[in-house]
């Protein structure tokens, strides 16, 4: 254990670049919600990988973007706060797209950091483009962060993942682990379940609904050998959205519940009875009191 390495790696990037997909893949199990929708991740979360030679605590963050409401401001605050006190920053980008305003915003933020940790650039989704195109994208993204070591990966398919992980471990300090070797996240099971329910809703719902959705856990009870009983409320901002989430004859809510139950059972290893209902909390994304009720704890900056 004299050369054991341990530390924190903040994973930052714009929405939908694959941050949670990468962390889940490296851990070999699902601890973070993923979906085709941007801004699936809504809070900082640790994904803890322990190997014989190292322990890496990945800090999964919401995607940095231009906010349109107080919830968006919260996302950015969570992402920026995650950069404090870490050993390495992993800047994850979408190699299948040209650098955009959000990528440039992140690069500018990284340049302003005091006592900045080591910076690693990872170009994700390389399975979607040709080798010549990848070379062009690598040069374009490298220009944003010229001092960063760059790696090309496919978080979903596996290309380059082990090489990237090795590079991250090599940049961690030699010191004992911070967490027990069997711990994989800092979230409680009910928090993960809430995210898995929201993930299922993101997969099925139309474009205007997903980001207006919040999940509140109402009951989480063990029922011995029969498994667990879970009750949750899905909150939307308007009555029209409530109808969409419920669907004709309750069909949409049943689909969301079935998909969520499957993921929860796979995560927990036991049978689950899941009960969902839908309520309206008007314009909750711009309501500071509602944000606090739904667990978004960082103080909202008020405009002067």
Residue-level pLDDT at 59: 87
Secondary structure class of 231 (helix, strand, coil): strand
Residue 60 pLDDT > 90, yes or no? Answer: no
Q: For residue 195, what pLDDT is reported?
A: 83
Tokens of 89: 């920053």
- Cβ-count burial of 295 within 10 angstroms (0-12 exposed, 13-18 middle, 19+ buried)? middle
Cα(42)–Cα(296) distance, rounded to whole angstroms? 9
Judged against a pLDDT cut of 50, whether residue 200 lies above it is answered with: yes
C-alpha dist (Å) from residue 234 to 54, 125, 243: 39, 32, 12
Say how many residues make up the chain. Answer: 304
Token output for 38: 């941007």
Residue 184 structure tokens: 């994989």
Residues with Cβ within 8 Å of 148's Cβ and at least 6 positions away in sequence, in order, are 91, 119, 120, 121, 142
Q: What strand order describes the sheet that includes 5-12?
A: 45-51, 54-60, 5-12, 88-94, 118-124, 149-152
Please list, residue by residue across 175-207, b when 16 or more beta carbons sit within 10 angstroms of its beta carbon and e when fewer do.
eebeeeeeebbebeeebbbbbbbbbbbbbbbee
The more confident residue out of 125 and 77 is 125
23-40: average pLDDT: 65
Per-residue pLDDT, 68 = 53
Tokens representing 134 are 């990848």
Tokens (6 digits) for 254: 């049943």
Residue-level pLDDT at 213? 84
Mean pLDDT score across all residues of the chain: 84
CA gyration radius, the chain: 20
Rounded to the nearest 5°, which phi and psi values hold at 290?
Answer: -65, -40
pLDDT band at 35 (very low <50, low <70, confident <90, very high): very low
Could you give the CA distance from residue 160 to residue 162 in angstroms, rounded to a whole number?
A: 6
208-265 pLDDT, tens digit each = 566 778 888 899 888 777 788 999 999 988 888 899 899 999 999 999 999 999 988 8
Q: Is the pLDDT of residue 161 over 90?
A: yes
Q: pLDDT tens digits, residue range 91-150?
A: 999 999 999 998 998 898 888 887 888 999 999 999 999 999 999 999 999 999 999 999
pLDDT tier, 88 (very low <50, low <70, confident <90, very high otherwise)? very high
pLDDT over threshold 60, residue 51:
yes
Q: Is 98 exposed, middle or buried (0-12, 13-18, 19+ CB in 10 A)?
A: exposed
> To the nearest whole percent, how much of the chain has pLDDT over 70?
83
**CB within 8 Å of 84: residues ≥ 6 apart:** none
Domains and CATH numbers, the chain: 5-170 (3.40.50.300), 189-293 (3.30.300.20)
CA distance 297 to 126: 36
Helical H segments across 45-149, by residue range: 70-81, 101-112, 131-144
Is residue 302 very low, low, confident or very high in pLDDT (cuts 50, 70, 90)? very low
Residues 18, 36: contact at Cβ < 8 Å?
A: no
């Amino acid at each position: 254990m004299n050369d054991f390495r341990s530390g924190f790696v903040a994973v930052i990037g714009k929405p939908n670049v694959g941050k949670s997909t990468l962390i889940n893949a490296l851990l070999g199990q699902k601890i973070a919600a993923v979906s085709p929708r941007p801004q699936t991740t809504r809070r900082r979360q640790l994904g803890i990988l322990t190997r014989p030679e190292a322990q890496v605590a990945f800090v999964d963050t919401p995607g940095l973007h231009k906010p349109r409401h107080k919830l968006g401001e919260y996302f950015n605050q969570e992402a920026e706060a995650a950069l404090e006190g870490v050993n390495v920053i992993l800047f994850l980008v979408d190699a299948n797209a040209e650098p955009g305003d959000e990528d440039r915003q992140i690069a500018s933020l990284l340049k302003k950091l005091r006592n900045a940790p080591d910076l690693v650039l990872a170009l994700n989704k390389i399975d979607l483009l040709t080798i010549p195109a990848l070379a062009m994208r690598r040069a374009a993204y490298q220009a944003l962060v010229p001092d960063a070591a760059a790696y090309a990966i496919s978080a979903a398919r596996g290309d380059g993942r082990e090489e990237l992980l090795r590079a991250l471990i090599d940049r961690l300090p030699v010191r004992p682990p911070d967490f027990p070797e069997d711990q994989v996240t800092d979230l409680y099971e009910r928090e993960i379940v809430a995210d898995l329910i929201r993930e299922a809703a993101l997969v099925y719902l139309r474009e205007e609904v997903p980001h207006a959705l919040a999940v509140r856990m109402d009951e989480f009870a063990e029922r011995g050998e029969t498994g667990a009983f879970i009750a949750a409320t899905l909150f939307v901002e308007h009555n029209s959205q409530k109808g969409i989430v419920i669907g004709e004859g309750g069909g949409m809510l049943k689909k969301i519940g079935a998909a969520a139950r499957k993921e929860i059972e796979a995560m927990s290893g036991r049978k689950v009875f899941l009960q969902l209902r839908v309520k309206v909390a008007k314009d909750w994304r711009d309501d500071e009191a509602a944000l606090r009720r739904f667990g978004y704890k960082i103080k909202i900056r008020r405009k002067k």
